Structure 1
């Protein structure tokens, strides 16, 4: 066994997350990517950091305030970990803005100009002056801070201007006046400027720059000395007393209002901010350490909207992906198809409309008696929700488990819950203390004097927007065992049923973790007996210590373990005596890798599963999650092919080293293989029904 200390056997979760966001930043720096796609990745780096700061860093600060002095399983105390996290984050932000300046330079070459007011010609200045006075000025509210007017509420992750002012007759030693102005979030931050003559250039100016130039119009009689942008990030964790809440929906609505007052976590300010303004902000927010001086526009998430609003410039984007409608379901009656065979769909290469159409058909079919469904994150204009409401209004029994605690989607889910209740659906908010993260739909249909169950189980949310951006898999089936298990699951969530033995599905927190461990140990027994033994698992994150330890133990018996983990990974691969039989790779590419697929060699009789659960403590112990076996042999082979594509990726795969760093996998003498692009080709061949469908070897190499 290894001589390393137990703590050094693991990579810290938060430090691993920072390495993941570095990989996202590397995509923004990749000159082989289309320029607007690089800008999109740069925006994602910012939005990722926002959530990390408001949840993970906020949690470390809470632990320090509570004098929590217990080390985590990777050996870190909160204070020491916070210092390392912030040191790496400062470095990342500096590199991010260096990349931003490079992208801005390349934008300019392509005719996309992000200008400052002073750079505009007289005509465009007049146009921008008019825009300010007619559109922006009426919305602005200057908020002075003095003895009679306390510091106003500063909303989390909103952009503000800090204004330092003087007045005629003031002495140099007099304390200046101070005010803040919120940059309106309901107006476009990037303001388009009309092209000059026949120019094909697209020119923009940021709203805060336009407000800065006209700031004097808000403070007549005063002289602005300095105007600087700032942005505050607050603690966004909800603290719910579910046991004592008579109405969970109302309790969450209260907590969302309290979130506005969450403790300050991070302050972003313009580089070179006026010392008095910076002192005022530090003092008000009681923040000393986590202050980021930004050399560029504060908050680069505006790049996502900017690149999305540009018309044309197709040469600066990926070619549009037109998902294929699954051939197997391209018939009028999905139920008839599913009586014959199970159907696997792979998003975004295959259309999410197949899922929507399944629910719509169930809602309209007079033989359907009941529809039961879980909803975790739903899009703003969901056809699924409309179909469920229509089904309830037509007299069907419709039960919807809406997860109100889906972080940052709470308000949207509350709105959907109220709409569904109004239509007559039975809306359930899950189990106390647990988030319902499973993705499952059950349709009960009357057929030939008996009832038949149809089930859809997926790895991703029932969200048509993210289904175009995330890689996820789903299975439609009428398998009787899976159908019975789905009924048991919904009864447990909605009623008082105690957990029953399930024949096909495994559910967290009841038995999913134990099932995984049982399967790991079975592979180890195969390895000891000299039989084929291998584990391949694809997921978003791996941070559950017991699961990591079981993987270590299995690998030490000779089981080859290949992990494809997009984000956080606390397992340390390649350590002699501990994990030399384990590899970990991460793929960050055009689409967000989101599917959870698990393969077990099982002595030569392979088993494949799909799941809603990552291998994290929260998923295995504090959430309702599903693990579903893939029973159809053709579907098994298809998923094995997809896993093999990921293992063969030598363009976008980065391999985790034992020191916790990631290295790009080099093609060497092999031809370049980019797994997501190959998956697009597979979808093309599959849905054209061509006999020479380019499968990978169904036995992983």
Structure 2
């Protein structure tokens, strides 16, 4: 962005957060375009573009809308007013959606060449039509509810991100009168049924054919309106504000308060309206009037909501050549030869790198603790948990066997609130002490503490990680976890849980950096130390891997370090508000983003420290929310071998010249290209022995 100053255009010191996010989603979209990716994987990336945009609209854009409605005109630190930013977001998002559907049409043709077809009803064979007619009448029709809109029947509640059909009707035997208002109704496409339906195979054909649920309903729409003739049927989808606003100070029961707010989400203010191309003008005007929306309307040239492509791609049998090669996570070699994980962790720290190494090791750690008679207590934080969690079962078993089990369940984990409420109730029923965190803060730290009686003393065993305790995402995200019995880390872990669950004053941390009380200052200290070393001619280097970087003061600290001569390499998957490579400001800073088959999720930080490097793993990105509004944790890695392993992992990512993009000073990204042999870091990392030795 450029702003005017004294008649000259001056580039802002910062990239806008929301526009940076759009650049990130553009990188995801590029993976859907990349012909080097297998075809079904490209379809998955196209699905991710849609789900990303849904969340962006329902949270970030919804917040900007609120600012516009409130009449706020103050510029953010990147120089944008809410009004100006909203215009740019909608323009760039609209361009992205148009490009996305061009790619969708291209993928449809390529999938057809591979024998995978999306077929219209009119193109079905008589046998297929009969099967679909039966499916409609037996399964779909009983679930549908036509909802007329007229003087006696007001507009029904339209759920956020639900797919609907807008139907224009006329009476049978009645000529259309352009002067007379038509009949209008809506029909919800039931989300409880599969969005895509597999058709019976044609005779002597190996083709896989699918029809979309909304197309099947559309062709049978007259069955819902006897005595009327459908004139026009087009799909639409509304996105509402999904952010939850809590008054935690006055909430007597946080769980009940969140349940109440979740119900309010259904009536969140409209943010975006998607309509199928060619919708009848009367339908469009009815929707615009009801939702009071004029600008944020996206005309979709294809099926609304492409998130179904993720499930479709995963459900197609065979076709392995159209997918990435399977990676079977290895069980950590350090634990492979023993039944006693505690004996290994007593002797040495163990690093686990997901998804290349199995999350089963974390499950086993908790399960062993649950059944071990010497274990007295287990304390753990849970932010996002999978649907069938071994960890939750182990915690319940431990509590039922009389162990002291304390679980900090974060009820405010966005879009996982209902699932976490269910887990909290299950754990409480088993006898666990369930804590919902601190007022005004999300507990985002990833840590487990096991206290075990050994001979005449207690020993603390700790697992601290960069990712959620979720076995599903551990197969899809790159994260690290550290098992340790280091006494200093154990003491800090105990103090952290006491601070979360009780009335403890901020601790004098020996090892940890903990937000919101101390992590920001610790990061300032580490960056300033490198700056001072550079000024004194000593070795000075920073490497940081994170999901996002948007904290203004951290960025300013990095700018100062760059100006002092510190070399800084940042691997930032998503949002980055720092503007690298600007002469006199950030010429010593390089920013890279890797978007590939796995979601880069680890937070790893390296500081040169005069040739005696310090390495940290963390739950926190360098964002304002992480450093000031969340309980976050950054842990040092004391084991020299593991430090070396993490440094090799970071170096591997910095050498990526296949899936890495570099952030340019103008806020856009360009693929990294050089004359070196091709290196795709996520594929190279499969060879565990190379980076873990």
TM range (shorter): over 0.9
Q: Does 1:205 align with 2:211?
A: yes
**Partner residue, 1:383:** 390
Q: Does 1:555 align with 2:562?
A: yes
| 597, 600, 610: which one aligns with 1:603 | 610
1:564–1:584 Cα contact (<8 Å) kept: yes
**Partner residue, 2:642:** 635
- Aligned to 1:380, the other structure's residue is in SS state coil
2-side partners of 1:6 and 1:493: how far apart? 45
**Partner residue, 1:112:** 116
1:524–1:557 Cα contact (<8 Å) kept: yes
- Aligned to 1:680, the other structure's residue is in SS state coil
Structure 1 unaligned segments of length 5 or more: list them.
686-692, 697-701
- Aligned to 1:535, the other structure's residue is in SS state strand
2-side partners of 1:110 and 1:327: how far apart? 40
**Partner residue, 2:241:** 235
1:323–1:349 Cα contact (<8 Å) kept: yes
| 663, 670, 692: which one aligns with 2:676 | 670
How many equivalent residue pairs?
685
1-side partners of 2:339 and 2:176: how far apart? 82
Q: Does 1:593 align with 2:570?
A: no
1:7–1:75 Cα contact (<8 Å) kept: no
2-side partners of 1:118 and 1:347: how far apart? 47
| 574, 577, 599: which one aligns with 2:584 | 577
Deviation at 1:171, TM superposition (A): 5.5
2:270–2:291 Cα contact (<8 Å) kept: yes
Deviation at 1:321, TM superposition (A): 0.9
Deviation at 1:559, TM superposition (A): 0.3
1:7–1:74 Cα contact (<8 Å) kept: no
Structure 2 unaligned segments of length 5 or more: list them.
none
Q: Does 1:50 align with 2:54?
A: yes
Q: In structure 2, do the counterparts of structure 1 residues 625 and 663 end up closer, same or farther at CA, with 3 Å as the change threshold?
A: same
| 475, 485, 492: which one aligns with 1:478 | 485
1:534–1:600 Cα contact (<8 Å) kept: yes
| 171, 175, 184: which one aligns with 1:178 | 184
2-side partners of 1:94 and 1:404: how far apart? 36
**Partner residue, 1:690:** none
- Aligned to 1:433, the other structure's residue is in SS state coil
Deviation at 1:383, TM superposition (A): 0.5
- Aligned to 1:43, the other structure's residue is in SS state helix
Greater than 2 Å deviation, 4+ residue runs: 3-7, 168-171, 693-696
2:685–2:691 Cα contact (<8 Å) kept: no
- Aligned to 2:606, the other structure's residue is in SS state strand
**Partner residue, 1:699:** none
Deviation at 1:222, TM superposition (A): 0.5
Deviation at 1:669, TM superposition (A): 2.0
Alignment of 1:251-290 (within 5 A): 251-290=257-296
Q: Does 1:336 align with 2:329?
A: no
- Aligned to 2:239, the other structure's residue is in SS state strand
**Partner residue, 2:146:** 142
Alignment of 1:228-627 (within 5 A): 228-330=234-336, 331-627=338-634
Deviation at 1:502, TM superposition (A): 1.2
1:7–1:73 Cα contact (<8 Å) kept: no
**Partner residue, 1:12:** 16
Deviation at 1:170, TM superposition (A): 5.7
1-side partners of 2:11 and 2:416: how far apart? 35
1-side partners of 2:157 and 2:512: how far apart? 48
2:531–2:566 Cα contact (<8 Å) kept: yes
- Aligned to 1:260, the other structure's residue is in SS state helix
- Aligned to 1:241, the other structure's residue is in SS state coil
| 218, 223, 226: which one aligns with 1:217 | 223
1-side partners of 2:580 and 2:92: how far apart? 22
TM-score, normalised to structure 2, is 0.98
Deviation at 1:38, TM superposition (A): 0.2
1-side partners of 2:382 and 2:591: how far apart? 31
2:546–2:621 Cα contact (<8 Å) kept: yes
Alignment of 1:88-99 (within 5 A): 88-99=92-103
1-side partners of 2:429 and 2:653: how far apart? 45
1:44–1:301 Cα contact (<8 Å) kept: yes
Deviation at 1:5, TM superposition (A): 8.3
Q: In structure 2, do the counterparts of structure 1 residues 440 and 7 end up closer, same or farther at CA, with 3 Å as the change threshold?
A: farther
CA RMSD, 1 decimal: 1.2
Q: Deviations over 1:303-356 (max 9, x none)?
A: 011111100000000111100000111211011001100000000000000001
Deviation at 1:637, TM superposition (A): 0.5
Q: In structure 2, do the counterparts of structure 1 residues 448 and 107 end up closer, same or farther at CA, with 3 Å as the change threshold?
A: same
Q: Deviations over 1:20-68 (max 9, x none)?
A: 0000000000001000000000000000000000001100000011111
